[in-house]
Structure 1
Amino acid sequence: MANLNLGTLPTNLPEELGPEKILIVSNPKTGMLGYLVIYNSARGIGKGGVRMASNLTLETVMLLAKTMTFKNAMAGLPFGGAKGGIVADPNDPNREAIIRSYAKELRNIIPNEYVFGLDMGLSESDAALVVDELGNNRLASTGKPKYMGGIPYDEEGLAGLGVVEGMQNSCQFIQGLTMPSSTISIQGYGAMGKAVAKYSTNRGAKIVAVSNMVRGESAKAIYNPKGIDLEKLNSLVTDASKSVTLYKDAEVLEGGEELFLDCDFVVPSAAGGVITKENVHRIQAKVLAEAANNPVTPEAQKMLDPNNTLYLPDFVINSGGVIAAYVEYINGTLDQAVERIRKTVPYNVERVLKEAIDNKVKTISEIRDIAERIAKDRVVKAMKAKGRI
């Protein structure tokens, strides 16, 4: 069994909005160790995907649960914020038993207080396992395969669609910038990164750099200022075991360097905390679009001038997946999910950026503060209505 890793937890818990519940579950037979944090349920049942990683900490899960609280509120969804985590390698040969035991240990929580969903390390087939383990209850999980009535938002790249909708809307705030003329560098070439690349190029943008990390190797990036042929790249990078360096018509860079290229959009789509106070001065892109959760540290946010690099906060633009999850939860369709994403994300981006311009903000942390205030006000309103404060 994995060792319990709490990380560095805040000393002032609970904070203003939460967390409401912190659960640590384990099963010695399968070696499963997992977390679930329900941060705030004032707006509804806790929602946020389950992440599977061998180095996962409770601190990370709690931060993501807080982010999901803001994300769901910002997207106008009747969900509270939560996040799950399984401390295991996604390639563990005992994977199915681990996922099933995680669901089983939370059988009194799912789906009455928390709805299972997908995050890094999990796929649609895992959602099917959870539904099966919990008595074939379709409400137990979202992200199910189509044949189970699900909306396969990873397969369709709906989170990436939302990011690109936000990116396109942001162009109006930078003179001369349009999606068809833009250049984009993407960190991470998993489900999110591939979707951002697909929907961007469908609108005429040029992908000049992408990166990924293959198990047992250091991260690598490829860069071609003339553009990367996505059809060719995708024929080579068919799964997580294939490096983007198989694509030969590009310069190979060390992983992380793709964040600091001279381009229109830089899109961190992998891990959190990759842009820090030590490297934020190297950002050259006109727009920093947070496809990943929390890729820019709070300290770095206070050092970046939005007049040089416009900032699109994670929970404002990467909500496409949870919007689709909600549409699936109410038994809606893929078309309805796409329509809702295309309306919601651009509206929120425009609202946040217009207020930022009106307030003459001087750092990107102030843009995030505006977005958090909008989301927080919605959560607090629900808490007051239910007599919680």
Structure 2
Amino acid sequence: MTLADNTGWLTRTPGTDPAADFVDRAPAHEVTWTDPVTGATGHLVVHTLVGGIATGGTRMRAGCTRSEVADLARGMATKTAAFGLPVGGAKGGVDFDPKDPRAFGVLTRFFAAMRPWLDARWVTAEDLGVTQQRIDAAFAEVGLGQSFHAAISRAPQPEAALARVHAGLEVLADGLPLGDVIGGYGVAQACLGAARAFGWEVERTRVAIQGVGTMGGGAAWYLHEAGAKVVAVADAAGTLVDRRGLDVPALLELRDEYGEIDRTRVPAHVQQLSREAILSLEAEVFVPAAISYAIREDNVHEVAAKVVVEAANAATTWGAEDALTARGVPVVPDFIANAGAAAWAWWLLQGQVGTDPQDSFRRLATEMQSKVAVLAERWTQDGTPMRDTGFALASTNLHLLEGVEIVIP
């Protein structure tokens, strides 16, 4: 079987809409759960199963809804298909404050209730409000070895597959676990791919990033390392701006466990603005890397960047994206830009990358930049929204993948 590459895959039947494979398709399965202790509500939405399995993180935030989880599951299904991964898409979400001291107990009980799915069909990982360390601790509480359990259990020698995964997860890159930074690295590569596709010198490419957690902070780090000018970052406390370029490594050192920067230690020359100011700052690239629906119909007019690269899932409402498209501002969709962690995890599961982080970085950089280049080419040639081109790639791959049995060596 040959999956779609980056040049010859726009071959769907004339008159069909590739987006319909994801947007109009009803979820394959849904489960709603109520915590017997706190009354918190949790949801599992499995959008697609490929080879009988799906992957997607678990998030926790106050106000998390079923529709949000369903949107994210659809995005995950699109993401895995776009990167040709032999797995469907799902998402878990719990409506509870992750800072509440009862949060770990809620997460553990949610996983215990989802045990039938986690045993055989759902591979999960960190997401908004839930670190991978907390995921793994909760899995240990319910008697599961690792959050990749559903895939690992399919291997002919599960112990060997688990050992390989553990070895990969223990790899350090720039002093941090590779799994914690690979997603942000992928976002940085999407930004660099856009800059190169549109003919901007990397050193003169200004980037504004909303969110400095795992994804936003990683993107900021690797963009800074590549020579791009990160002129603004925003967290829950506000926006920090230096139009000459922020000292990203120094600022990231000031983060607390919730991804907020200690304002008492921010250099005096760094301008401090409101949290919402990040939208209206002039930059070549704006990276929403914090919450879903950060760009909406009511604030899209404030966006001043030339390109939006979605690091957060569902960062832009479709109405807002239509408005940006009409203004000539392309959006690199989340299911392309933030797919790095999901792609890397699956490459690790299948033994396609190992313990040399540079192998993982090189593969992700090549795949991410080549995909963004094609999206940018179609946008430049005929104004095709990048999301539409991405849907066409994902749709072609999904039809090639359906019915394929997953193989874990």
- TM-score of the aligned structures, taking structure 1 as reference length: 0.84
User: In the TM superposition, what is the alpha-carbon distance from 1:124 to its structure 2 partner?
Assistant: 2.4
How far apart in 2 are the matches of 1:359 and 1:132?
A: 51
How far apart in 2 are the matches of 1:133 and 1:237?
A: 29
Match of 2:75 among 44, 51, 67: 67
Answer yes or no: is 1:256 the counterpart of 2:276. Answer: yes
How far apart in 2 are the matches of 1:110 and 1:210?
A: 36
Answer yes or no: is 1:18 the counterpart of 2:26. Answer: yes
Q: Could you tell me whether the CA contact under 8 Å between 2:179 and 2:341 is conserved in 1? A: no
Match of 1:105 among 102, 109, 113: 113
Map of 1:239 onto structure 2: 257
- Count of residues paired in the alignment: 363
Which region of structure 1 is more displaced relative to structure 2, 62-71 or 293-302? 293-302
Q: Could you tell me whether the CA contact under 8 Å between 2:30 and 2:45 is conserved in 1? A: yes
Alignment of structure 1 residues 279-358 onto 2, 5 Å: 279-305=299-325, 308-330=328-350, 332-334=353-355, 335=357, 336-358=359-381
How far apart in 1 are the matches of 2:233 and 2:402?
A: 42
Secondary structure, in 3 states, of the residue corresponding to 1:52? strand
User: In the TM superposition, what is the alpha-carbon distance from 1:267 to its structure 2 partner?
Assistant: 0.8
Q: 1:15 to 1:85 in 2, by over 3 A?
A: same
User: In the TM superposition, what is the alpha-carbon distance from 1:150 to its structure 2 partner?
Assistant: 5.2
Map of 2:140 onto structure 1: 132
Answer yes or no: is 1:123 the counterpart of 2:152. Answer: no
Alignment of structure 1 residues 2-17 onto 2, 5 Å: 16-17=24-25
1:271-318 superposed Cα distances (whole Å, 9 cap, x missing partner): 121222233233222221111112221111112247843321111111
Match of 2:397 among 371, 378, 388: 378
Question: Residue 237 of structure 1 aligns to which amino acid in structure 2?
Answer: R
Question: Residue 89 of structure 1 aligns to which amino acid in structure 2?
Answer: D
Give me the CA root mean square deviation. 2.8
Map of 1:10 onto structure 2: none
1:60-110 superposed Cα distances (whole Å, 9 cap, x missing partner): 000000000100111111110100012221122123322221111111111
Answer yes or no: is 1:208 the counterpart of 2:231. Answer: yes
Map of 1:169 onto structure 2: 193
How far apart in 1 are the matches of 2:178 and 2:109?
A: 24
How far apart in 1 are the matches of 2:376 and 2:239?
A: 31
Q: Could you tell me whether the CA contact under 8 Å between 1:104 and 1:134 is conserved in 2? A: yes
1:183-224 superposed Cα distances (whole Å, 9 cap, x missing partner): 1111111111110110001011121111111xxxxx411112
Which region of structure 1 is more displaced relative to structure 2, 324-333 or 184-193? 324-333
Q: 1:195 to 1:114 in 2, by over 3 A?
A: same
Question: Residue 354 of structure 2 aligns to which amino acid in structure 1?
Answer: T
How far apart in 2 are the matches of 1:193 and 1:146?
A: 28
Q: 1:154 to 1:32 in 2, by over 3 A?
A: farther
Q: 1:242 to 1:168 in 2, by over 3 A?
A: closer
User: In the TM superposition, what is the alpha-carbon distance from 1:341 to its structure 2 partner?
Assistant: 1.5
Q: 1:187 to 1:169 in 2, by over 3 A?
A: same
Question: Residue 57 of structure 1 aligns to which amino acid in structure 2?
Answer: T
Match of 1:229 among 223, 247, 256: 247
Map of 1:7 onto structure 2: none
Q: Could you tell me whether the CA contact under 8 Å between 2:235 and 2:259 is conserved in 1? A: no
- TM-score of the aligned structures, taking structure 2 as reference length: 0.80
Provide the identity percentage: 26
* Unpaired stretches in structure 1, ≥5 consecutive residues: 1-13, 214-218
